[in-house]
Amino acid sequence: MNYDEFYRRSIDQPELFWAEQARLIHWDTPPQQILDQSHPPFRRWFVGGTTNLCYNAVDRHLAERADQLALVAISTETGITREFSYRQLHGEVNTFAAVLQSLGVGKGDRVVIYLPNIAEAVFAMLACARIGAIHSVVFGGFAAHNLALRIDDAQPKLLIAADAGMRGGKVIPYKPLVDAALNEASAPPPHVLMINRGLAPSLSYQAGRDIDYAPLHQAHLGREVPVTWLESNEPSYLLYTSGTTGKPKGVQRDVGGYAVAMALSIRHVFDIAPGQVMFSTSDVGWAVGHSYNVYGPLIGGATSLLYEGLPTQPDPGIWWRLCERYRVRTMFSSPTAIRVLKKQDESWLRQADLSRLKWLFLAGEPLDEPTAQWITDALGVPVIDNYWQTETGWPAITLMPGLDLKTVKFGSPGLPAPGYRMKVIDESHGREVPAGVKGVLVFEPPLPPGCLTTVWGDDARYIRSYFSHFKELLYSSLDWAIRDEDGYTFILGRTDDVINVAGHRLGTREIEESVASHPAVAEAAVIGMRDELKGQVPIVFATLKQDAGDGTGAVAKAMQQRVVDQLGGVAKPSRIYVVNTLPKTRSGKLLRRSLQALAEQRDPGDLSTLDDPAALDDIRRALERGPDQGS
């Protein structure tokens, strides 16, 4: 079946289509009703069916592939690689589940997981799923205040944490952050289960609260814990995303719908069959980490590589050597990571045998055309952009090489994934706009399986946040987009990332794309800065490739001219700053609001998600010395 027929059936005959896809997973009790949409915008998929994410990810594979590699946990920070077959993974998950039960965790209880990319993070997630507990993974190293907010919202029975993580050879102690968060939280859990990696020697435990995992692991080794079967629409996990009010939103995922979405997408989007290998470079604390480090590959019977470390250490060839060593078929990373590698010597790519690598998927932020072209040429394999959100849980717009590979168009993530009824509409009157006209990307309910079911504990906020922006009941992505004549979508940036220059509305994404088209530019971030005459003017911060050549002044001038040539004089950057690095979150997203605040001499705000604090110092120095081009 080709993409067009597959997608059309998902839209025209959704219940028949999803009933067929439901056969990709194991049900203890078959669904009694495929779709209940009697209370829009809420919907329930596979009503009455009972299943379990852990069983689908681990147990059901034991008969055919018990000795196949299931998980490879690689840390270039510690130099340790750990490999687990499906049989070994089953044993570790059962032991962890027994430990959880010994601490009073059961069905419906929340468990906050605060771990780096280590095997125990996967064991903990699957163990929660096994016994029907609801896990909420918080990115390891998140600031104490942010952790406290998530604890208070989830009200967990248990917090699982590591003594420390590592990044770039630097130890990042977690325990002091945990202690500070629990002191601040109004609903702290009674116990903290500590995974001691031996990275923080001065670790101190609070008697009665903090418990070392190692003795409990030894005590429960070999235990088998029965699977808890859950109705399809019961919650499986919470994943917090930023809220406009400052209070994070707990994106709530179901069980059955998510399992089916993972089974479909791992096969038809990522083209992974049982026994093949997927390497996702994400952190387990992010949506991609949940779906394509853990649940997707394992539900598909594949091998998943979990990586702790930087893409450039011990050298910029490490990812490609891992692809060679484990015969990776599909790799999933971010545009930011590729732009980091783009600054390095291309010879690192050519030193590894990548003949088994068939696809590179990129997501997390818009993929600029110059970066897409560079990595495509360097790897010699199709590079597939795909668009999704924490809320969707899996790609909403993508190409599907597992069915048939449509034409790759640089700058576009492609076409809508099955079940996503997508439109681009005018923000003022809500009507669909023609091809080539910018509008807001929206999805018509019902949202397909795998998407969020609500905001944890707050149905009203779910409606207010996602379905209240237009007269018609539509899920707003809050992203600008354009669709071309072939139906391909081009994402132009957030609807709040708009610069209003003398009445002209300019998307930061459009200017960034233009700047990044200069061959010496590695990466660019554009912000709007207040201006008494024009309201706002564009400001550019850019990093250059190592072999940039002509000098920063000449390159900055050429960047400015490119914007004028491609977008017109109204888009001309007022100032261009060439910097060593740009401030990003740990998931690779540019902190444009912090850049804007620094440029306007304001407080940059909450920097708990900042990956490298030195990046802000670099920006401050650039602002103090003055622009490389402009007034």
CATH number at residue 503: 3.30.300.30
Pairing of strands 575-578, 535-544: parallel
Task: Answer whether 163's CB lies under 8 Å from 200's CB.
Answer: yes
pLDDT number for residue 606: 67
The confidence score (pLDDT) of residue 294 equals 98
Q: CB neighbours of 148 closer than 8 A, spacing ≥ 6?
A: 180, 181, 182, 184, 185
Residue 342 lies in a domain: no
Chosen domain end from 445, 479, 513: 479
Q: Are residues 44 and 133 in the same domain?
A: yes
| 572 plus 450 within the same structural domain | no
Predicted confidence at residue 566, as pLDDT, reads: 77
The domain boundary residue, chosen from 479, 510, 528: 479
Do residue 181 and residue 219 come from a single domain?
A: yes
CATH of the domain at 405: 3.40.50.12780
- Residue 362 is assigned to a structural domain of this protein: no
Task: Specify if 283 maps to a domain.
Answer: yes
Contact present, 483 and 440 (Cβ < 8 Å): no
Tell me, yes or no, whether 465 and 524 share the same domain. no
Query: 628: helix, coil or strand?
Result: coil
| Shared-domain flag, residues 149 and 280 | yes
- Which pLDDT does position 530 carry in this prediction? 82
Residue 496: per-residue pLDDT? 65
Which of 479, 513, 542 is where one domain is finished? 479
Six token digits for residue 77: 């920070």
- Whether residue 77 contacts residue 167, with contact meaning beta carbons closer than 8 Å, is answered with yes
Instruction: Return the pLDDT at 242.
Output: 66
- Give the whole-angstrom CA distance, residue 8 versus residue 17: 10
pLDDT of residue 512: 87
- Give the largest CA-CA distance in the chain: 72
Give me 177's structure tokens.
């952050």
Q: Residue 524 gets which letter from DSSP?
A: E
Question: Does residue 187 share a domain with residue 41?
Answer: yes
Radius of gyration of the chain (CA): 24
Q: For residue 181, is it within any domain?
A: yes
CA 305 vs CA 40, 78, 176, 354: distances in Å: 39, 16, 29, 16
Residue 408 sits in the same domain as residue 538: no
Say yes or no: 475 and 508 in one domain: no
Q: Note the pTM of the prediction, 2 decimals.
A: 0.86
Same domain for 550 and 447: no
Integer Cα distance of 71 and 293 in angstroms: 9
Domain hosting residue 529, numbered range: 497-630
Looking at the domain assignment, is residue 235 inside a domain? Answer: yes
Q: Is residue 323 part of a domain?
A: no
Asked if residue 368 belongs to a domain, the reply is: no
Is residue 133 located within the same domain as residue 178? yes
User: Where do we find the tokens 């998929």?
Assistant: 45
**Does residue 210 share a domain with residue 86?**
yes
192 located within any domain:
yes
- Answer yes or no: do 430 and 516 share one domain: no
- Number of folded domains in the chain? 2
In the predicted model, residues of the chain with pLDDT beneath 50 are: 244
